[in-house]
Amino acid sequence: MTTQLRTSEPRPPDFREPGSAPRWRIGVGAAVVAALVLFGVLVVVSALRSGGAAVSDVPLTSGSTPATSRPTASASASAGPTVFVHILGRVRKPGLYEVAGTARAVDVVAAAGGFQNDADQAALNLARTVTDGEQIVVPRVGESPPPLPPAGSDSSASDPGTAPVDLNAADEAALETLTGVGPATAAAIIAWRDEHGRFESVDDLLDVTGIGEKKLQKLRDGVVVR
């Protein structure tokens, strides 16, 4: 006598129909197939990236020439012996500068901070090679540039009387080369020039603090207004 389960009675948890496969076996098989497919895809992608990395990793630049390739004002100066050049007039930092022996006028102007806005740049030959002991005067636009001393000549440095100092272009160092002019008087001359714009005549020195008729007579032959 056989006992049949009624359809209305609950089945035990481990009961399955004859011939049916467990569900967990099907799930494991699908997972293995998916893992193999994923591994194959990763291999292909890795091979493709290793072959094209050199191209994809190179950044592209929009500029045609880097800014550092531009020639600078001091590019013509090279290492070696140096010379001293005195530059004054319409530059931002007049004074005495030590530059390379192969430097040109443009290098001295660059060392002095560049031209002022009212400088007459066309009055200078910026490509000229400078010499030791040379004085460069940068005039204002509309002024007549002073005559250049002979190349290599030190006469202007040893004898200030042969090269009158331009009151409208000289800096303190140049003014102090004049007889009876020290740092205080030189500063007063420049202060008056900055306040009034320019000297119209040598006699304007009488308006400068510390300069009277006696000192003016000493200065008259050594200065000029251009």
95-128 tens-digit pLDDT: 999 999 899 999 999 999 999 999 999 888 999 9
pLDDT tens for residues 15-48? 555 555 555 455 666 677 777 778 777 766 666 6
Computed over every residue of the chain, the mean pLDDT equals: 74
Unique residue bearing structure tokens 């994923």: 38
CA angle, 131 then 109 then 208, to 5° = 100
CB-CB contact of 156 with 162 (8 Å): yes
CA angle, 126 then 130 then 134, to 5° = 115
Q: What is the mean pLDDT of residues 55-66?
A: 38
Is residue 175's pLDDT more than 80?
yes
Neighbouring CB atoms inside 10 A of 181's CB total 23
Return the domain boundaries, the chain.
73-158, 161-226
User: Within the chain, how many helices (H) and strands (E) appear?
Assistant: 6, 5
CB-CB contact of 193 with 171 (8 Å): no
Q: What is the mean pLDDT of residues 159-186?
A: 82
Domain 161-226, what fold? DNA polymerase; domain 1 (1.10.150)
Residues whose CB falls within 8 Å of the CB of residue 205, separated by 6 or more in sequence, listed in order? 167, 189, 199, 211, 216, 219, 223
> Which of 96, 132, 123 is CA-nearest to residue 111?
96
Q: Could you give the CA distance from residue 184 to residue 169 in angstroms, rounded to a whole number?
A: 18
